[in-house]
Amino acid sequence: MTHIETGLATREGTALDNADSGRVYVLADGTVGAAVIDGIGHGPHTSATAPLLAETASRISARRDPLGGLLAASELIADRGQHGDEADAVAVAVRVRPNDDIAVVNWTGDSRAYGWDGKRLELYTDDHTVGKQLRANGVSLEIAREHDNWLRTSLARATIGTVYTASIRDQVVILTSDGVHDQMSAEVMKDIVQRHQHDPQSLADALVAAALPDMEGYRDDATAIVISRSM
């Protein structure tokens, strides 16, 4: 039977609270469901609601699948609430079964899933941003870069058509919020993964710690989940 180990790390950025959240849930048969939630902005409900969304998404991902996990979490925030200020977020979720060599990932927005096979770090998700769409359609990098923070979809608006799916066969699966992957180069991330690949908790901690402030001194909330499979 495949042995599954996990690691989870999150830390607050330069804002007053952490709008990120991550959860890992393990069923009695060893199936793992995990989710990273990245709250949009820092509204009055965001930091309080993000853990609830992550808990819901991880548990349903383990029991059903990550598509169901994200759609279930979406229902919790689909209504804007009495005062129109309910939280919204982007998210990525995964299900890993002990006897299945494929990890199933679903996501909406710009949270990401990577796979590591011992030598290669592969990005398996596409950011659902206007900037990404513009680049795909041949718009210049200078113009597209200005639209990278414009989301084309979010968890509150999620449907079957806007929650995408990927399959990962690599032995290590890494979920990140943009506070991790936007604050380091692909080369730096690969180096961190290579150095800590055998210790999921150490790897999650290192990824979150390596996410540095931008040129203006702003540091986003950062969350990483690592799931490692071995025989």
Q: pLDDT truncated to tens, each residue of the chain (231 aa)?
A: 689 999 999 999 988 799 999 999 999 999 999 999 999 988 889 999 999 999 999 999 999 999 999 999 999 999 999 999 999 999 999 999 998 999 999 999 999 999 999 999 999 998 865 445 444 545 445 544 554 554 568 999 999 988 999 999 999 999 999 999 999 999 999 999 999 999 999 999 999 999 988 888 889 999 999 999 986
Query: What pLDDT was estimated at residue 139?
Result: 44
Query: What pLDDT was estimated at residue 77?
Result: 97
Question: How far is C-alpha 50 from the chain's CA centre?
Answer: 12
**3-126+154-230 CATH pick, 3.60.40.10, 2.30.30.90, 2.60.120.330, 3.40.50.2300:** 3.60.40.10
Query: What pLDDT was estimated at residue 183?
Result: 92
Query: What pLDDT was estimated at residue 86?
Result: 94
Expressed in percent and rounded to 5, the helix, strand and coil fractions of the chain are 30, 30, 40
Query: What pLDDT was estimated at residue 149?
Result: 59
Query: What pLDDT was estimated at residue 135?
Result: 47
Query: What pLDDT was estimated at residue 137?
Result: 47
Mention every residue, 6+ apart, whose C-beta is less than 8 A from residue 113: 92, 94, 105, 107, 123, 124, 125, 166, 168, 173, 174, 175, 176
